Amino acid sequence: TQLLEQSPQFLSIQEGENLTVYCNSSSVFSSLQWYRQEPGEGPVLLVTVVTGGEVKKLKRLTFQFGDARKDSSLHITAAQPGDTGLYLCAANNMDSNYQLIWGAGTKLIIKP
């Protein structure tokens, strides 16, 4: 069974702090995506990583795909209240061409 475990489940920090959230699995994936979901809305894609060791940056957000393509991290520098939301990771299901496997998410709150 392929599972994606996200940690922490919940994180509340002050504006300006740095943070890292994780998405881990014992399975190997060919790609992994990070989405952000704000209250009352559907998830929105932030980034897709496909190569082991790949690092992508999106302004203050840095995404890394593990060398073995089993895990990923999202680091936010100088967090702002606008970063508040639920961060979800999703990876391609190796058993099915038409499904993604989803983590349960990290709920992030940035206090002003």
Partner 1 sequence: EAQVTQNPRYLITVTGKKLTVTCSQNMNHEYMSWYRQDPGLGLRQIYYSMNVEVTDKGDVPEGYKVSRKEKRNFPLILESPSPNQTSLYFCASHSSWAITDTQYFGPGTRLTVL
- Name the site residues for partner 1 (rule: CB under 8 A): 4, 9, 30-31, 40-45, 48, 50, 88, 90, 92, 97-100, 102-105
Q: Are 67 and 55 in contact (CB under 8 A)?
A: no
**Cβ proximity to partner 1, 19 vs 104, nearer residue:** 104
**Cβ proximity to partner 1, 79 vs 103, nearer residue:** 103
The C-alpha atoms of residue 28 and residue 14 are separated, in whole angstroms, by 35
Q: Are 32 and 74 in contact (CB under 8 A)?
A: no
Q: Tell the smallest beta-carbon distance from residue 68 to partner 1 (Å).
A: 17
Q: Tell the smallest beta-carbon distance from residue 108 to partner 1 (Å).
A: 15
**Cβ within 8 Å of residue 100, ≥6 positions away:** 33, 90, 91, 92, 93
**Cβ proximity to partner 1, 27 vs 48, nearer residue:** 48
Q: Tell the smallest beta-carbon distance from residue 16 to partner 1 (Å).
A: 29
Q: Are 80 and 71 in contact (CB under 8 A)?
A: no
